[in-house]
Amino acid sequence: MGGNLPALELMALYTAAAMHDYDHPGRTNAFLVATTAPQAVLYNDRSVLENYHAASAWSLLLNNPNNYFISGLEAAEFKRFRFLVIEAILATDLKRHFEILAEFNAKVNDEDAAGVDWTLETDRLLVTQMVIKLADINGPAKAKNLHQQWTYRIAEEFYEQGDEEASLGLPISPYMDRRNPQLAKLQETFINHLVAPLCNAMVTGGLLPGTWVDEDGQEGHDELDTSAGKDTEDDEDVDTDDIDNDLDLTPVKERKPPRKVHCLLTKNMKENYEFWAAYIKREEEEQTRAPVINMESDKMSTSSLKDQVSEKSEMEPIKEESESPPPSTPNPMGGNLPHSPNSAFQAATLSAPTTATATPTVAPEFSGSQCSASLETGPVVYSQQQAMHTTEQVCDDDDDKSTEV
């Protein structure tokens, strides 16, 4: 894909990725608006964090000569570069998620889609917006141990916001009440409604690296078949004098099913989805057996977790996938977990089976205004309206924090 982008646009995409979460306050857009924070006032409650990240990062770039790496750009190039960076950062606002996804599907994945025209600046901009969006919320597409490390970190950040909301007398946002932890449900919903449709749209659109796993993935697979209705090799031999003029002889192009692609991101996402779904199932079974559960304050099974994880003053740094802990390491998530009343869930994940037992579901296709999770990720079809309603509970204006989910 990078070969289809001019160097200036590719540099703008990298720069936007570096800038897009700069100086994040650890609170959501909804919280900043509800508390009339200075950022919300400055940006009129619209894409508050996204505008703040872009403006703050650009100030850092422009006001420090040591940071100004674009001094060699001409005026027109600078204008174009700045426009692309800002547009990419603003695209990470989850309020625009379904708008951008629907535009991409209409361009690439719908039945009569023309595909990306790499000669058009607007099409290339749409691609860069999709790329940075996936980079922003691709936590569930990481390897399981890395995904879980980031999940616990974002959960602690959510709980801190919930604590502040409670202290201010505000309603605690969904999934942010540490006395009622719903971490597994948060991740299952986040993957199902946001990450899977986005990731799969990019896979079927040919924007993610992967390999064909079916024999039909050859050149000419989607070519129009015009052989139907012909019983001779030459069109001139066909006698059409006796054919009803109302008969439509136009060949019909059949809709081919999506070709299967092996992509590491979708593989990881499927495994993580099944892990959370399996945990939810076990949790529901336990609640059925013991409906009364003591959820008192901050004392939930902390001691049991301490028996399994040694305490240190700081969490170990996140390890890249290539630096995953060896199989003998007792903690599959690598490093210590942040202290949290959600210890019961954390301890359970340490002993959870590596193979999820979630019930397999059918992998539907993208169709019209629907966003579906294909490539056998497990999520189900849902309408855009239903997804937007549910998404408001998952990440109400959560924008940049989704990077770590």
Mean pLDDT value of segment 378-401: 46
Per-residue model confidence (pLDDT) at position 326? 43
Virtual torsion, Cα 274, 278, 279, 282, nearest 10 deg: 180
CATH (residue range 2-209+361-404): 1.10.1300.10
Cβ proximity of 258 and 221 under 8 Å: no
Residue 208 has pLDDT above 90, yes or no: no
Percentage of residues in the chain having pLDDT higher than 90:
51
Per-residue model confidence (pLDDT) at position 251? 52
- Mean pLDDT value across the chain: 74
Q: How do residues 8-64 score in pLDDT, each as one tens digit? A: 999 999 999 999 999 999 999 999 999 999 999 999 999 999 999 999 999 999 999
Please tell me which residue, 50 or 304, carries the higher pLDDT value: 50
Please tell me which residue, 115 or 93, carries the higher pLDDT value: 93
Residue 302 has pLDDT above 70, yes or no: no
Cβ proximity of 133 and 97 under 8 Å: yes
For residue 117, what are its two tokens?
């025209």
CB-count burial class (<10 Å; 0-12, 13-18, 19+) for 348: middle
Residues at the annotated binding site for Zn(2+)? 20-21, 136
Per-residue model confidence (pLDDT) at position 111? 80
Residue 226 has pLDDT above 80, yes or no: no
Task: Name the maximum alpha-carbon separation found in the chain.
Answer: 89
How far from 204 is each of 7, 143, 207, CA to CA, in Å? 25, 21, 8
Q: How do residues 322-368 score in pLDDT, each as one tens digit? A: 444 444 434 333 433 333 334 444 444 444 444 444 444 433 333 33
Q: How do residues 381-390 score in pLDDT, each as one tens digit? A: 334 444 444 4
Residue 166 has pLDDT above 50, yes or no: yes
Angle value at C-alpha 391, between 385 and 395, nearest 5 degrees: 155
Residue 132 has pLDDT above 50, yes or no: yes
Residue 367 sits at φ, ψ, to 5 deg, of -150, 120
Per-residue model confidence (pLDDT) at position 1? 72
Q: Is the pTM of this model over 0.85?
A: no
How far from 41 is each of 32, 47, 58, 401, CA to CA, in Å? 9, 11, 19, 20
Measured in whole angstroms, how far is the alpha carbon of residue 71 from the centre of its chain? 34
The domain limits of the chain are 2-209+361-404
Residue 86 has pLDDT above 60, yes or no: yes
Per-residue model confidence (pLDDT) at position 215? 56
Only one residue has tokens 């924090």, namely 401
Mean pLDDT value of segment 64-90: 96
Among 106-120, 162-176, 276-290, 389-403, the least confident range: 389-403
Among 8-12, 114-118, 208-212, 298-302, the least confident range: 298-302
Per-residue model confidence (pLDDT) at position 209? 83
Among 265-269, 289-293, 365-369, the least confident range: 365-369
Cβ proximity of 340 and 152 under 8 Å: yes
Per-residue model confidence (pLDDT) at position 239? 46
Residues at the annotated binding site? 20-21, 136
Q: What is the 3-state secondary structure (H, E, C) of 263-301?
A: CHHHHHHHHHHHHHHHHHHHHHHHHHHCCCCCCCCCCCC
Mean pLDDT value of segment 382-401: 48
Q: Is 224 helix (H, G, I), strand (E, B) or coil?
A: coil
What is the rounded radius of gyration, in angstroms, for the C-alpha atoms of the chain? 25
Per-residue model confidence (pLDDT) at position 224? 31
